[in-house]
Amino acid sequence: IDWSFTVHGISEFDYPAGLLLGDKIRKAKFVACVSHFGRSQALRTVEPSLGDKMIIVRCGVALSQMPQRHRRDDGRFRFVSVARLSPEKGHVGLIKAFARVARERPEADLLLVGEGPRRPIIEAAIAEHGLADRVRLLGQMTERDVLTEVANSDALVVSSLMEGLPVVLMEAMAIGVPVIAPAVGGIPELVEHDVTGLIFTVSNWNGLASRMLALASNIELGDRLAVAGRRRVEEEFDVRRAVEPLRARFG
C-alpha cells in the first residue's frame, strides 16, 4: 500500500530519531511539507537524492469561511495573540514588549487567546508589569470564536521563539487584519516585512514593541499591510490552490 505523510514542523525536528523521521521519509511514496523551511529540515534527516519526493503543500484557508473584519469605534487599539500558553510561544516576552506599548499608547490593549501550562507564569508577568487592566487572558475558544476575536482586533501578534508556518497568520491576513511576526521557521514565506506584515527579530522584545507601536500610531500602515496580506493569501494560501499538488499526486 502506498502512503504519504505531512511535515508541519517544528515538533518533528525536535526528536527526529525518536520519530524515525528519516525511515518514514524513505518508505513514503511522497512527503507533503507545508513550508520550504519544513522541507529543508526534513532533508537533513535523509540522503539528498530523496529530496524530489518532498513536495510543498500549503496549509490553505477557506477564504469564503473567513469572517469580515469588524472596525470598532471604541477608541481603543486592540492587539490579539492566538497561541497555546507554552514556552515556545514567547508570551512572557510579548508581555514585556507590550509593557512599553502600554506606557506610550494608553489606548492599547492586548488579548491572549489560548490555554496551557505557562498560564501562571504569564499571569505573574502581567502583574509584575502592572498590566492587569490592559491584558486579558481569554482561555481556550472554539475555532469560530477565535476567528471572531481576530476579526474584532486591530492587529495580530505572533511572539513565538520557533514556528513552522502558523495557520492563524493566514487567517488574520485573509480577514484583513495586519500581522506582526518573528522571522523564524516558515513565517517569512508568508509575511514579507513592510509589504504583507511586519517582521521582527525573534526574541528581540524591544523590536517587537517598536513594530506594535508602528501599527498603533499609523492606521494607514495597517490598512496597506492588510490589503497586501489578503492578496498574498489569495495567491498561494487559498485552500483551493493549496490542494493542487495533492490532486496531481493522487490523480
Instruction: Verify that 95 and 147 share a domain, yes or no.
Output: yes
**49 located within any domain:** yes
Instruction: Verify that 101 and 199 share a domain, yes or no.
Output: yes
CA–CA gap between residue 233 and residue 61 (Å, rounded): 8
Instruction: Verify that 82 and 21 share a domain, yes or no.
Output: no
Q: What pLDDT score was predicted for residue 239?
A: 93
Query: Which of these three, 34, 57, 80, is where a domain ends?
Result: 57
The DSSP secondary-structure symbol of 61 reads B
Instruction: Verify that 121 and 152 share a domain, yes or no.
Output: yes
Instruction: Verify that 44 and 83 share a domain, yes or no.
Output: no
CATH of the domain at 102: 3.40.50.2000
pLDDT of 158-176, one tens digit each? 999 999 999 999 999 999 9
Q: What pLDDT score was predicted for residue 190?
A: 98
Instruction: Verify that 137 and 195 share a domain, yes or no.
Output: yes
Boundaries of domain holding 72: 64-236
Q: What pLDDT score was predicted for residue 17?
A: 67
CA–CA gap between residue 178 and residue 153 (Å, rounded): 9
CA–CA gap between residue 76 and residue 234 (Å, rounded): 29
**188 located within any domain:** yes
pLDDT of 89-98, one tens digit each? 999 999 999 9
| Ramachandran class of 215: left when φ > 0, alpha when ψ lies in -120 to 50, beta otherwise | alpha
> What phi and psi values does residue 31 have, to the nearest 5 degrees?
-125, 125
Query: Which of these three, 57, 77, 99, is where a domain ends?
Result: 57
CA–CA gap between residue 73 and residue 84 (Å, rounded): 29
**77 located within any domain:** yes
Instruction: Verify that 169 and 74 share a domain, yes or no.
Output: yes
Handedness of CA 146, 93, 76, 63 (dihedral sign): negative
Cell numbers 510561544 correspond to 89
> Contact 163/185 with Cβ under 8 angstroms?
yes
Cell numbers 491584558 correspond to 135
CA–CA gap between residue 163 and residue 222 (Å, rounded): 23
Which grid coordinates belong to 156? 495580530
Cell numbers 488574520 correspond to 172
pLDDT of 115-159, one tens digit each? 999 999 999 999 999 999 999 999 999 999 999 999 999 999 999
Instruction: Verify that 38 and 8 share a domain, yes or no.
Output: yes
Q: What is the pTM of this model?
A: 0.93
Whether the pLDDT of residue 9 is over 80: the answer is: no
Angle, helix 205-216 to helix 219-232, in steps of 10 degrees: 100
Instruction: Verify that 217 and 105 share a domain, yes or no.
Output: yes
Instruction: Verify that 116 and 213 share a domain, yes or no.
Output: yes
Instruction: Verify that 182 and 117 share a domain, yes or no.
Output: yes
**244 located within any domain:** no
pLDDT of 12-69, one tens digit each? 777 666 678 899 999 999 999 999 999 999 999 999 999 999 999 999 899 999 999 9
What are residue 238's DSSP bridge partners?
Answer: 61
Domain tally, the chain? 2
**247 located within any domain:** no
Whether the pLDDT of residue 10 is over 80: the answer is: no
At residue 113, the 3 state secondary structure works out as strand
